[in-house]
Amino acid sequence: MAADPITNPATPPSTSQAAVFGKQAVTDALADHAAILGLKDLIVDAKWDRKELTLTVAPETILAAAQAARIAGYNFLEDVTCVDWYPTEPRFQLTYHILSHTLKQRLRLISRVSGDDPRIDSITSVWPSANFYEREVFDLFGVHFPGHPRLTRIMMPDNWNGHPLRKDYPVEGYR
Partner 1 sequence: MSRNSLLEDPRPSSFLEKPSEDTSQVTDTTGATLAGFRSAEDLLIPGVEDVVEESTTHHKPHGSDPINDQTMVLNMGPQHPSTHGVLRLVLEVDGETIVSLAPDIGYLHTGIEKTCEAKFYHQVVPLTDRIDYICPMTNNLAYALAVEKLLDLEIPERAQYLRVLFNELTRIQSHLVWLGTHAMDIGALTIFLYCFREREDLLRIFEAVSGQRMMGSYIRVGGLSVEPPLDIYDKIRAFLNAFPSHIEEYEGLLNANPIWMGRLKGVGYLSAENAIALGVTGPPMRASGVDFDVRRDMPYSGYEKFKFNVPVSNDGDVWARYIVRMQELRESTNICLQALDGLPEGRITANAPKIILPDREQMKTQMESLIHHFKIVTEGFQVPAGEVCSSVEAPHGMMNYYVVSDGTAKPYRVHMRNPDFATLQALEVMCKGQLIADVVAVIGSIDIVLGAIDR
Which residues form the interface with partner 1 (CB under 8 A)? Answer: 2, 5-6, 49-50, 52, 54, 67, 70-71, 73-79, 81, 83-84, 95, 97, 100-102, 104, 106, 108, 124-129, 131-133, 140, 149-150, 152-157, 164-165, 169, 171
The beta-strand segments (E) located in the chain are 20-21, 43-49, 52-57, 76-84, 92-100, 105-113
Smallest distance, partner 1 to C-beta of residue 20, A: 13
Q: Looking at beta carbons only, is 88 or 114 nearer to partner 1?
A: 88
Question: What 3-state class would DSSP assign to 20?
Answer: strand
The CA distance from 7 to 78, in Å, is: 19
What is the pairing mode between strands 92-100 and 76-84?
antiparallel
Q: Work out how close the CB of 155 gets to partner 1 at its nearest, in angstroms, rounded to a whole number.
A: 4
Cα dihedral 50, 168, 110, 51, rounded to 10, equals 0
Minimum distance, C-beta of residue 40 to partner 1, in the bound complex (Å): 17
**Least distance to partner 1 from the beta carbon of 59, Å?**
18
